[in-house]
Structure 1
Amino acid sequence: MDLRSARERWVRTGGIELCVAELGDSAQPTIVLVHGYPDSKEVWSEVARRLADHWHVVFYDVRGHGRSTAPEPLRGGFTLEKLTDDFLAVVDAVSPGRPVHVVGHDWGSVQSWEFATVERTKGRIASFTSMSGPSLDHFGHWIQQRTSRPSPRRVGQLLGQGAKSWYVYALHTPVLPEMAWRGPLGRQWPRILRRMEKVPADGYPTASLPQDAAHGAWLYRDNIRTRLRRPRPDAHAHVPVQLITPTGDAFLSPSLHDELETWVPRLVRRTLPAKHWVPRTRPDQLSSWIGEFVVACEAGGPGDPEITDAPAPAAARGAHADRFGGQLVLVTGAASGIGRATALSFARAGARVVAVDRDAEGVARTAETARLAGAPAAWAETVDVGDEQAMEELAEKVAAECGVVDVLVNNAGIGLSGSFLDTTSEDWRNVLDVNLWGVIHGCRIFGRQMADRGQGGHIVNIASAAAYQPSRALPAYSTSKAAVLMLSECLRAELAERSIGVSAVCPGFVATGITGTARFTGTDAAEQQRLRKRTTRLYSLRDYPPEKVARAILDAVVHNRAVVPVTPEARGARLLARISPRMVRAVARVKPPL
Structure 2
Amino acid sequence: MPMRDQWVRSGEIELAVRVRGVENRPTVVLVHGYPDTGAMWDEVAERLSGRFRVVVYDVRGAGASGVPADPLDYRLDALMGDLEAVLDGVGADEPVHLVGHDWGSVQGWEAVIGDRLRGRVASFTSISGPDRRHMARWARESVRSGPRGVAEVLGQVRRSVYMPVLMTPWAGEAAARVLAAGFGRVMRLREGADPRSGHPAGTLAADARNGLGLYRANMGRRADVRGRADARGRADVGGRAVTDRGAATLGDGRTDVPVQLIVPVKDRYGSQALLLSARGPVERLYVRRAPAGHWVARSHPDLVARWISEFADHIEGAPETPAIAHARAAGVPGKDFGGDLVVITGAGSGIGRATAHAFAAAGARVVVADIDEGAAKRTVEEIQAADGEAHAYGVDVADAEAMERFADHVHDTHGVPDVVVNNAGIAIAGSLLETSEEEWNRIRSINLDGMYRGSRLFGRLMVARGEWGHIVNISSMAAYLPSADMPAYGATKAAVLQMTESLRLDLDRYGIGVSAVCPGVIDTPIVGRTRFVGMPPGVETELRAWIVQASERRGFPPEKVARAILRAVRQDRPVVLVTAEARLWRALSRVSPTANRALARFGRRAGDRFLTGMERPQD
Partner residue in 2 for 1:332: 345
Aligned partner of 1:210 in structure 2 is 201
Residue 591 in structure 1 maps to residue 615 in structure 2: no
SS at the partner of 2:57?
coil
> C-alpha deviations, 1:310-353, integer Å up to 9, x for none?
xx9962425xx2xx455554322223321122133223334454
For the Cα contact (< 8 Å) 2:404–2:457, is it kept in 1?
A: yes
Verify the 8 A CA contact 2:122 2:315 in the aligned structure 1.
yes
Partner in structure 1 of residue 143 of structure 2 = none
Query: Following the alignment from structure 2 to structure 1, what is the Cα–Cα distance between the partners of residues 379 and 117?
Result: 46
Aligned with residue 121 of structure 1, among 111, 117, 122: 117
C-alpha deviation, 1:193, in angstroms: 1.6
- In the superposition, relative to structure 1, how do residues 166 and 406 fare at CA in structure 2: closer, same or farther (>3 Å)? farther
Contact 1:350 1:374 in 2 (8 A): no
Matched residues, number: 544
Return the alpha-carbon distance in structure 1 between the equivalents of residues 155 and 490 of structure 2.
46
Q: Find the residue that maps to 1:430 and give its secondary structure.
A: helix
**Are 1:60 and 2:55 matched, yes or no?**
yes
Q: In structure 2, what residue type is equivalent to 1:210?
A: A
| Separation in 2, partners of 1:155, 1:435 | 37
Q: Structure 1's 178 and 13: CA in aligned 2 closer, same or farther, altered over 3 A?
A: farther
Q: Aligned to 2:443, which of 431, 434, 448?
A: 431
Question: How many angstroms apart in 2 are the aligned matches of 1:279 and 1:39?
Answer: 13
Tell me the amino acid that sits aligned with residue 397 of structure 2.
Answer: V
Is this contact kept in 2: 1:412–1:435, CA < 8 A? yes
One-letter amino acid matched to 2:565: I
Kindly indicate whether residue 79 of structure 2 is the aligned counterpart of residue 80 of structure 1: yes
Residue 582 of structure 1 deviates from its aligned partner by 3.2
TM-score where L is the length of structure 1: 0.66
1:111 aligns with 2:119: no
1:341 to 354, 370, 393: 354
Residues 353 and 370 in structure 1, CA contact (< 8 A), matched pair in contact too: no
What is the Cα deviation at residue 125 of structure 1? 3.9
Letter in 2 for 1:438: G
The alpha-carbon distance between structure 1 residues 314 and 535, as it changes in their structure 2 partners (threshold 3 A), is farther
Opposite residue 277 of structure 1, the aligned amino acid is W
Q: Which of 170, 185, 192 in structure 1 is aligned with 2:186? A: 192
Cα 1:172/1:281, change in 2 over 3 Å: same
Q: CA deviation at 1:39?
A: 5.1
Letter in 1 for 2:211: Y
Q: Render the CA deviation track for 1:38-83: whole Å, top value 9, x for unaligned.
A: 254774967997x99xxx9775312479xx9955678689850443
SS in 1 for 2:211: helix
1:463 aligns with 2:458: no
Cα distance in 2, alignment partners of residues 46 and 570 from structure 1: 47
SS in 1 for 2:453: helix
User: Closer, same or farther in 2 for the Cα pair 1:508/1:279, shift >3 Å?
Assistant: farther
Change in 2 beyond 3 A, CA 1:483/1:118: closer
CA drift of 1:410 comes to 1.7
Q: Deviations over 1:7-31 (max 9, x none)?
A: 98989854767445679x979xx87
* 1:564 to partner: Cα distance: 3.9
Q: State the Cα deviation string for residues 551-577 of structure 1 (Å, max 9, x = none).
A: 122233445555544345555666777
Shift of 1:416: 3.3
Paired position in structure 2 for 1:442:
454
Deviation at 1:131, TM superposition (A): 3.7
Aligned residue for 1:146?
none
Match of 1:149 in 2: none
Mark the CA change 1:570 to 1:16 in structure 2 (over 3 Å): closer, same or farther. closer
Greater Cα offset, 111-120 or 453-462 = 453-462
What residue is the counterpart of 1:315 in the other structure?
332
State how far apart, in whole Å, the 2-side matches of 1:157 and 1:485 are: 29
Q: Does 1:239 align with 2:230?
A: no
Q: Is the 8 A contact 2:37 2:201 kept in 1?
A: no
Indicate the SS of the match to 1:119.
coil
Query: 2: distance between equivalents of 1:444 and 1:177?
Result: 44
Aligned residues of 1:423 and 1:521 also touching (Cα < 8 A): yes
Q: CA deviation at 1:361?
A: 5.0
Written as runs of structure 1 = structure 2, the 5 A alignment for 1:232-381 is: 232=237, 233-234=240-241, 236=251, 237-239=253-255, 249-251=267-269, 275-280=293-298, 315-317=332-334, 321=336, 324-325=337-338, 329-351=342-364, 353-360=366-373, 362-363=375-376, 366=379
Residues 521 and 551, structure 2, Cα contact 8 Å, conserved in 1: no
Distance 1:291 1:557, change over 3 A: farther
Change (3 A) 1:381 1:87: farther
Q: Deviations over 1:442-470 (max 9, x none)?
A: 34455566678887764432123444455
1:220 aligns with 2:207: no
C-alpha contact 2:33 2:101 (8 A) present in aligned 1: yes
Structure 2: which amino acid aligns with 1:345? A
- Equivalent residues of 1:331, 1:339 under 8 A apart: yes
Task: State yes or no: 1:93 paired with 2:92.
Answer: yes
The two structures have a TM-score, normalised by structure 2, of 0.64
Rounded to whole Å, the distance in 1 between the matches of 2:449 and 2:363 is 30
1:133 aligned onto 2:129:
yes
Which of these residues, 33, 37, 49, is aligned with residue 36 of structure 1?
Answer: 33
**Maintained 8 Å contact 1:355/1:380:** yes
Alpha-carbon displacement from aligned partner over 1:466-491 (angstroms, at most 9, x marks no partner): 44455565443333223323444555
> How far apart in 2 are the matches of 1:373 and 1:270?
24
Partner of 1:113, secondary structure, is helix
Classify the secondary structure of the residue corresponding to 1:461. Answer: strand
Question: d(CA) in 2 for partners of 1:413 and 1:372?
Answer: 27
Partner-residue secondary structure (3-state), 1:60:
strand
Give unpaired runs (5+ residues) of structure 1: 1-5, 143-152, 303-311
Q: Provide Cα deviations, 1:166-192, integer angstroms capped at 9, x if missing partner.
A: 567899999x989997xxx6xx86653
- Cα gap change, 1:365/1:244 in structure 2, threshold over 3 Å: closer, same or farther? farther
- Alignment CA distance shift 1:141-1:397 (3 Å): closer
CA distance in 2, matches of 1:179, 1:484: 43
Q: Quick one: which amino acid aligns to residue 36 of structure 1?
A: G
Q: Is the 8 A contact 1:338 1:547 kept in 2?
A: yes
Work out whether residues 190 and 205 of structure 1, in 8 Å CA contact, stay in contact via their aligned partners in 2: no
State the superposition RMSD in angstroms: 6.1
* Residue number in structure 2 paired with 1:552: 564
Return the alpha-carbon distance in structure 2 between the equivalents of residues 581 and 47 of structure 1: 62
Query: Whole-Å Cα distance in 1 between the matches of residues 162 and 63 of structure 2?
Result: 33
The one-letter amino acid of 1:426's match is E
Gaps of 5+ in 2: 139-150, 225-236, 242-249, 321-328, 590-595
Q: 1:293 to 1:239 in 2, by over 3 A?
A: farther
> Map of 1:430-509 to 2, 5 A cutoff?
430-447=442-459, 458-469=470-481, 474-489=486-501, 491=503, 500-509=513-522
Q: Tell me how far 1:257 sits from its aligned partner.
A: 8.8
SS of equivalent residue, structure 1 residue 275: coil
Q: CA deviation at 1:434?
A: 0.7
Compared CA separation, residues 378 and 126, structure 1 to 2 (3 A)? farther
Deviation of 1:355 (Å): 4.0
- Measured in 2, the distance between the counterparts of 1:313 and 1:456 equals 13
2:601 is equivalent to residue 582 of structure 1: yes
Counterpart for residue 415 of structure 1: 427
Measured against aligned partners, the alpha-carbon deviations of 1:97-131 in whole angstroms (never above 9, x if no partner) come to x6x66442113212213313432212334665544
Aligned to 2:201, what secondary structure does the other structure show? Answer: helix
Describe the shift of the 1:415–1:238 C-alpha distance in structure 2 as closer, same or farther (beyond 3 A).
closer
**Residues 44, 279 of structure 1: 8 Å contact kept:** no
Matched residue, 1:3: none
Task: Summarize the Cα distance change of 1:13–1:433 in structure 2 as closer, same or farther, 3 Å threshold.
Answer: same
Q: 1:349 to 1:138 in 2, by over 3 A?
A: closer
CA contact (8 A) 2:367 2:393 kept: yes
Taking the aligned partners of 1:538 and 1:41, their CA distance within structure 2 comes to 66
The residue type paired with residue 201 of structure 2 is: P
